Amino acid sequence: MPQIHEIRADYDDTTLIVYQAYPAAIAEAALRAGKFVAPFSLSRMTWIKPSFLWMMERSNWGLKMGQERTLAVRITRTGWEEALSLAVLTHPEKSVYPDAEEWRRQLDKAWVSVQWDPERDLRGAPQDHRSIQVGISRHLVDKYVNEWTMELQDVTLLVRKLHGLIQSGQAAKAKQFLPGERVYPVNAAIAKRLGMSYIISADQ
């Protein structure tokens, strides 16, 4: 059975939310400015994730060093889809790249990288579908920061609350506070580029 690749996100007509985790110095400076500023680096790749629970898996609920503060970053759907339209997968999926050498050439000069990982549930167990991570290279970070980002929100207290509920055996209660995420529609060209085995197409 082929694995399901879905983009699930909290989105509206014009924006969607992605998550990032940072140390306090970066998070607090960004929240004060309303956008990412130093010590955030514009010269390094930055990874964004529309799945809240995958962000929790990556940061261990904000317990990993340097990932203590979780930010919900509201970006434009236009910017998100621009990123996806430039993406190169981090693995040479044969359905997308029949020639592995050509994949390598594309990845070496990619402005955006995409990785698919098993989605997680509240307890961290892998799910049947895969969740997307998008790496914005230094060539596009300035655009991400200054054009695509509409709002930054600190959701660290929510992360701590949910983790506390889970640790105390109240996962069902914690589930009530999760962000509302649903399958994000993509057009056929983007779906093909991302190697998606299941899509809700924006063309439909």
| Average predicted confidence (pLDDT) for the chain | 93
What is the rounded distance in angstroms from the CA atom of residue 30 to the CA atom of residue 143?
16
Q: HSE on the CB side for 42, CA within 13 Å?
A: 11
- Residue 200's pLDDT band (boundaries 50, 70, 90)? very low
- The token duo for 88 is 């190169």
What is the rounded distance in angstroms from the CA atom of residue 68 to the CA atom of residue 172?
24
Task: For residue 90, give Cα distances in angstroms to 21, 113, 115, 134, 187.
Answer: 21, 6, 6, 10, 21
Q: For 107-129, what is each residue's pLDDT tens digit? A: 999 999 999 999 999 999 999 88
- Please report which residue ranges of the chain form alpha helices under DSSP H: 24-33, 52-59, 77-85, 100-108, 141-143, 156-167, 171-175, 188-194
pLDDT of residue 4: 85
Q: For 137-171, what is each residue's pLDDT tens digit? A: 999 999 999 999 999 999 999 999 999 999 999 99
What 3-state class would DSSP assign to 137? coil
pLDDT of 204 > 60? The answer is: no
What is the rounded distance in angstroms from the CA atom of residue 195 to the CA atom of residue 93?
7
- Residue 197's pLDDT band (boundaries 50, 70, 90)? low
What is the rounded distance in angstroms from the CA atom of residue 21 to the CA atom of residue 142?
18
The pTM for the full model equals 0.93
What is the rounded distance in angstroms from the CA atom of residue 20 to the CA atom of residue 52?
9
Number of H helices, E strands in the chain: 8, 10
Mean pLDDT of 98-103: 92
